[in-house]
């Protein structure tokens, strides 16, 4: 839900990408003054990698395969990024076996641990304040490539945009931020549960698209042996965080 609507001069709808195998997206923001596309400083956690990687001169990435959004790079600018794990009791998932839920939790937490060296993450128990929210549920059926035959998916990642207040109350400015929801089916076998959690979390951390390389965690299709985060995944994330974005910039409420 948008905390502040600064007029209706601009309304942006981001729709589900046709043919995406493992995620969709939705979102809207409105505002009379939309931040211009600008580049944020590279996060300290990504600066820790070699200068050769950060220079991106000749680095192997799949940056060109990521979706180009009107908001620019889908990146985080405040750290750590908070992550919420959906509670089995709060979600009334009485039919979900306890062991299956524990396996789901372990997979999600392992995926957080795997990505944290690149983007600092911390778990929170507050779903409203969380930047990324994981839920142990099957995504709804979506249309297949022919737009007629429903198909099942193991996971789905969606996001929405909102204005977040900055400063004192009443705030004098806002910043445009994103919030992600990830539906991750607990029915997956352990290896694929972890691999899918890693993959979907990669989307939420900024890799909004897929890799064409089978040895990357962001490969576009499920593989027999789920992949870990590859050097190319890392280099692509570094490249993405050097792209201009409208997210994270302070916008005054009054002229």
Predicted confidence at residue 199, as pLDDT, reads 97
The region of weakest confidence among 89-93, 101-105, 113-117, 210-214 is 89-93
Confidence of residue 13 (pLDDT cuts 50, 70, 90): very low
How far apart, in Å, are the Cα atoms of 184 and each of 59, 86, 139, 181?
Answer: 32, 10, 7, 10
Question: Average pLDDT, stretch 117-123?
Answer: 97
Confidence of residue 21 (pLDDT cuts 50, 70, 90): very low
Predicted confidence at residue 16, as pLDDT, reads 28
Burial degree of 208 (CB within 10 A; 0-12, 13-18, 19+): buried
Question: Using one digit for the tens of pLDDT, what is the confidence trace for 72-104?
Answer: 999 999 999 999 999 887 777 778 888 899 999
Predicted confidence at residue 114, as pLDDT, reads 98
Evaluate if residue 193 carries a pLDDT over 90.
yes
153 vs 59: CA distance, rounded Å: 33
Q: How far is CA 133 from the centre of its chain?
A: 10
21 vs 124: CA distance, rounded Å: 29
Question: Average pLDDT, stretch 212-222?
Answer: 93
pLDDT, greater one: 229 or 222: 229
Predicted confidence at residue 148, as pLDDT, reads 52
Confidence of residue 170 (pLDDT cuts 50, 70, 90): confident
How far apart, in Å, are the Cα atoms of 172 and each of 143, 164, 250, 255?
Answer: 43, 11, 10, 10
Three-class secondary structure assignment of the chain = CCCCCECCCCEEEECCCCCCCCCCCCEEEEECCCCCCECCCCCHHHHCCCHHHHHCCCCCCCHHHECCCCCECCCCCCCCEEEEECCCCCCCCCCCCHHHHHHHHHHHHHHHHHHCCCCCEEEECCCCCCCEEEECCCCCCEECCCCCCEECCCEEEEEEEEEEEECCCCCCEEEEEEEEEEEECCCCCHHHHHHHHHHHHHHHCCCCECECCCCCCCECCCCCCCCCCCHHHHHHHHHHCCCCECCCCEEECCC
For the chain, give every domain's residue range. 11-252
Query: What is the pTM for the complete model shown?
Result: 0.84
11-252 folds as Collagenase (Catalytic Domain) (3.40.390)
Question: Average pLDDT, stretch 205-232?
Answer: 93
Burial degree of 129 (CB within 10 A; 0-12, 13-18, 19+): exposed
The region of weakest confidence among 8-12, 99-103, 161-165 is 8-12
CA distance between the termini of the chain: 24
């Amino acid at each position: 839900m948008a905390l502040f609507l600064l007029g209706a001069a601009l309304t942006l709808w981001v729709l589900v990408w046709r043919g995406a195998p493992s995620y969709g997206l939705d979102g809207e923001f409105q505002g009379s003054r939309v931040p211009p596309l600008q580049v944020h400083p590279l996060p300290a956690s990504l600066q820790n990698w070699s200068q050769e990687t950060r220079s991106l001169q000749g680095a192997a990435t799949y940056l060109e395969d990521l979706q180009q959004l009107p908001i620019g790079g889908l990146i985080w600018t405040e750290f750590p990024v908070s992550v919420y794990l959906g509670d089995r009791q709060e979600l009334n998932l009485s039919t979900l076996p306890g062991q299956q839920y524990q396996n789901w939790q372990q997979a999600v937490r392992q995926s957080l641990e795997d990505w944290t060296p690149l983007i600092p993450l911390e778990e929170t128990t507050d779903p409203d304040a969380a930047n990324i929210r994981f839920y142990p549920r099957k995504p709804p059926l979506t249309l297949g490539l022919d737009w007629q035959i429903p198909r099942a998916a193991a996971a789905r990642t969606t996001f929405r945009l909102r204005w977040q207040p900055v400063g004192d109350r009443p705030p004098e400015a806002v910043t445009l931020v994103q919030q992600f929801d990830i539906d991750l089916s607990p029915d997956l076998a352990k290896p694929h549960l972890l691999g899918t959690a890693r993959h979907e979390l990669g989307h939420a951390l900024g890799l909004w698209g897929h890799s064409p390389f089978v040895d990357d965690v962001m490969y576009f299709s499920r593989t027999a042996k789920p992949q870990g985060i590859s050097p190319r995944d890392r280099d692509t994330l570094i490249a993405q965080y050097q792209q201009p974005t409208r997210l994270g910039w302070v916008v005054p409420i009054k002229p």
